[in-house]
Amino acid sequence: MHLTGRLTIAAAAATLAGPLLSMPPSHAAAVPDVTCFSGNRTATQDGYHLSANLCDGQGLTVLIRFGSAAGTYRCRTAFVWNGFLGADGCRQQ
């Protein structure tokens, strides 16, 4: 994909995510360490494996805003690299 295509996708994602990021957090919800735009989860023996993209932050509490894995998770391990998340041993909160 050419640079202009990537920039167009990034701009569209930022436009869609902007209003969601400006919403005040719920008082009952924990503040996530990592926030991702979208992602998927796979059931494993020790919880879920999460794969997500357009992620920012570092830590073990993960918020996925859209996709089949939308929700907040507490994970045993989580690694963010270049905007992508890989996390294991996750439990939905």
Three-state SS string over the chain comes to CCHHHHHHHHHHHHHHHHHHHCCCCCCCCCCCCEEEEEEEEEEECCEEEEEEEEEEECCCEEEEEECCCCEEEECCEEEEECCEEEEEEEEEC
Q: Is the pLDDT of residue 81 over 50?
A: yes
**What residues does each domain of the chain span?**
31-93
Length of the chain: 93
pTM for this entry: 0.67
Ranges 17-26, 60-69, 71-80: which has the least confidence: 17-26
Tell me, what's the pLDDT at 60?
96
Higher pLDDT, 65 or 24: 65
Tell me, what's the pLDDT at 43?
97
Cα 53 off chain centre by: 6
Non-local CB neighbours of 33 within 8 Å, separated by 6+ positions: 57, 58, 59, 60, 61, 62, 78
Q: What are the tens digits of pLDDT across the range 2-60?
A: 766 665 676 666 666 655 555 555 444 568 899 999 999 999 999 999 999 999 999 99
